[in-house]
Amino acid sequence: MPNDRSAPADTPRTPTAPDAVAPAVPVVPGAPTPDAVTRAPDAVTPAPDAVTPAPVHPPGVAAVPEALAPAVPDAPAPAAPRGYRAVFAVAEFRAVFAAHLFSLLGVVVSELALTVLVYDLTGSPLLSALTFALGLLPYLIGGTLFAGVADRYPARRVLVVCDLLCAACVAVMLVPATPVAGLLALRCLVAAIAPVFTGTRMAALTDILGEGDLYVLGRSLLRIVSQSAMLIGFGAGGVLLTVLSPRGAITVTAVTFLASAALLRFGTRARPARSGDGGGTLLKESLAGARLILGDRRVRALMLLFWVPPMFVVAPEALAAPYADAIGVPSAALGLLLCSMAVGHIGAELFVGSALSPRNRSRIVLPVAAVGLLPLVVYAVRPGLPLAVAALALAGAGAAYVIGLDQWFVDAVPEELRGRAMTLLTAGLMTVQGLGMALAGLAAEFFPVHQVVAGSGILGTVCTLLLVAEVRATAPGRMSDTEGRDRADRHVTSG
């Protein structure tokens, strides 16, 4: 092991001491004296028994020491991967990505299979629909009450335990004696664990990929997988249910959770917790973190910008079936209405993530967020299927502003609160989408479906413009000195 006295291999040594004089250098007429010539490092001085003849120089030309000779350029190094390829070059991220794919497909398949199972057992459409709703409602409870887990314990341990708990819940669902109430309770428990898992994974990505562009692109890839799972997962679940019973399909879910746990356990490094046990209970720590996060004006504005547009953009998806019936298109067209937004989102996110620089991705955040819901206003004219599909694809593409917003959020949240902030962000996002669907359905009881969707676009745009103004006002360098000091104080005391 080199000590502090050994120089690096590429560092020239200091000249030798005067008592270690090298052989005399012949003086060329008209050339500088040997004292004026810088001697080459002793590492390249020929040994006395292997003396090489000195090169002959024309009269009046000084000998150029080897140390001063122009260096021959090395061969160009292979270009480092960029964009999404650079993210996949990180081995730990590949494990996280594969685990995300397994667990997400498992969740989608289990939702479909459990819905069918509950309907088979009860014959009740209400209870069958409630199975889907229970996948959203507990997010707020789990994300608020258990958010402290994400920072209090090592991330890898939290992720693996969450996967194992979900696998255990699914295994109990497979027991034939489990009543319907038990199935719904287990569904709630899995949904309550989900925001803790997702928030911890989002915070862990900053450890794996850093806090810069790689993190932003990594988050983008996980979102793209989530959108794709909605398209592929339900199709795969439908195919499985043609060859397996509902409980057989749920068994596949248990296997996917176990596979995710194994990938995270053996594919990622163990890292310490972000913040130790502060002496309080987990509930107290979680609620205190939520107060600190929401009490920061900048973080609160960014979080609302994550939440508000999705709350309004879900209206056409929630009302896709009644709208298809209203315009008289066949039931097969319902699939187009449901998948158009996801296709637009995936395409736009891939383009923004691969074609735009980090600076340009940051520049488009506020303009794209401001106009992202306007395509829904087309519903005011009660469009036919082609125009409605195009409007939904454009509305989905508007979600690409989130790529740049991810970087702003990481920069704004102090590291010791990052796990709790990500968990709260996830819980709020799922909750407001569920609330948006419920409000859209309620409004459709009193107004035509196309007016409800158009109204969502208008009202959502107004709310988003107000948020854009708030985000601009809280940008670094624009807040007053008092606000900046208060925010810094909160960050210091949050540890």
Residue 90, number of CB atoms within 10 A of its CB: 18
User: What's the chain's average pLDDT?
Assistant: 77
Contact predicate 236/111, CB 8 Å: no
What is the model's pLDDT at position 250? 83
Instruction: Retrieve residue 313's tokens.
Output: 């953009």
- Please report the pLDDT score of residue 5 as a whole number: 39
Residue 128 CA to residue 360 CA, distance in Å, equals 45
Model confidence at 56, in pLDDT bands (50, 70, 90)?
very low
d(CA 192, CA 198): 11
Q: Which of the pair, 281 or 273, is modelled with greater confidence?
A: 273
Contact of 139 with 427, CB cutoff 8 Å: yes
Burial of 357: CB neighbours in 10 Å, binned 0-12, 13-18, 19+: exposed
Residue range 342-372, pLDDT digits in tens: 889 999 999 998 888 889 999 999 999 999 9
pLDDT of 378 above 90: yes
Q: Are 258 and 167 in contact (CB under 8 A)?
A: yes
User: Predicted confidence band at 480 (pLDDT cuts at 50, 70, 90)?
Assistant: low
pLDDT higher than 80, residue 93: yes
pLDDT at 19 over 50: no
Question: Region 262-279: what's the mean pLDDT?
Answer: 82
Spatial distance between the Cα atoms of 303 and 294, rounded to a whole number of angstroms: 9
The predicted structure's pLDDT at residue 437: 84
- % the chain with pLDDT above 90: 27
- Residues 180-209 have pLDDT tens digits of 888 888 888 888 888 888 888 888 888 898
DSSP class per residue in 315-354: HHHHTHHHHHHHTT--TTHHHHHHHHHHHHHHHHHHHHHH
Q: What is the pLDDT of residues 292-336, one digit of tens each?
A: 888 899 999 999 999 999 999 988 888 887 888 888 887 667 778
Q: Is it the case that residue 53 has pLDDT exceeding 60?
A: no
Three-class SS of residue 454? helix
